């Protein structure tokens, strides 16, 4: 059941939100890459992660792929990233 919840993207305030809690590296970045294929250029993808390594992996991913890391924050054990699709 957790796997189905993690794979489902939901819409919130015009953004696509991925609940990636409990997934370990490299899964959050791989799921983000897949989700970015399905949103329009200029749209935002929000990642909700619990793996501390995402603080390194997600910024590196956006830099390598040319997408914009518009925001990143930590809320206790939750790491939240907002990626804006550029191409």
Residues that are catalytic? 25
How many angstroms separate the CA atoms of 19 and 28, rounded?
9
Please give the Cα distance from 25 to 58 (Å, whole number).
Answer: 10
């Amino acid at each position: 059941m957790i796997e189905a919840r993690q794979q489902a993207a939901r819409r919130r305030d015009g953004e696509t939100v991925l609940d990636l809690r409990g997934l370990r590296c490299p899964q959050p970045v791989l799921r983000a890459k897949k989700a970015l294929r399905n949103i329009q250029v200029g749209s935002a993808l929000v990642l909700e992660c619990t793996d501390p390594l995402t603080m390194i992996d997600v910024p590196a991913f956006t830099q390598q792929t040319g997408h914009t890391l518009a925001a990143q924050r930590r809320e206790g054990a939750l790491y939240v990233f907002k990626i804006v699709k550029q191409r």
